[in-house]
Amino acid sequence: METKFTTHEEYIIQFDGEAREKLLEMYEYLAEALPGCTEVISYSMPAFKHKKVLVYYAAFSKHIGFFPTASGIEQFKDQLGDYKFSKGGIQFPFSKKLPKALIQKIAKYRLSVD
């Protein structure tokens, strides 16, 4: 049975070590970039919402997944460098520092087109 989370904190505290540290960093970066947006859980992942969900994030075994939807990826794909990415998500490996400026630029872009 899948655990249902109702807050970002409930989601984050289920993890230990690197995963928890990276999730906390991601949360702080997004909360700073998206003041006034609503924190929600959607598709069992933490997300920030304005009129609609702007971005999601989640922990995986070796990376943090950041999901700024297709428009966020398309707008910044030339700045993603060596990060693995798909049509809707980017993988930030635990072995690298999270790119705060890039994450915040993408989040602010998503808010501007909401």
- Grade residue 114 by pLDDT with cuts at 50, 70 and 90: confident
Domain membership flag for residue 44: yes
The contacts of residue 57 (CB under 8 Å, 6+ apart) are 23, 26, 27, 30, 45, 46, 47, 64, 65, 66, 67
Domain membership flag for residue 107: yes
Each residue's pLDDT tens digit, 61-84: 999 999 999 999 999 999 999 999
Domain membership flag for residue 78: yes
**Average pLDDT across the chain, whole number:** 95
Domain membership flag for residue 66: yes
pLDDT surpasses 50 at 1: no
CATH number of residue 46's parent domain: 3.90.1150.200
Q: Residue 56: which domain range?
A: 8-112
Alpha carbon distance 68, 14 (integer Å) = 23
The count of structural domains within the chain is 1
Domain membership flag for residue 108: yes
Domain membership flag for residue 1: no
Domain membership flag for residue 19: yes
Query: Model-level pTM greater than 0.85?
Result: yes
Each residue's pLDDT tens digit, 27-72: 999 999 999 999 999 999 999 999 999 999 999 999 999 999 999 9
The stretch 4-16 carries a mean pLDDT of: 94
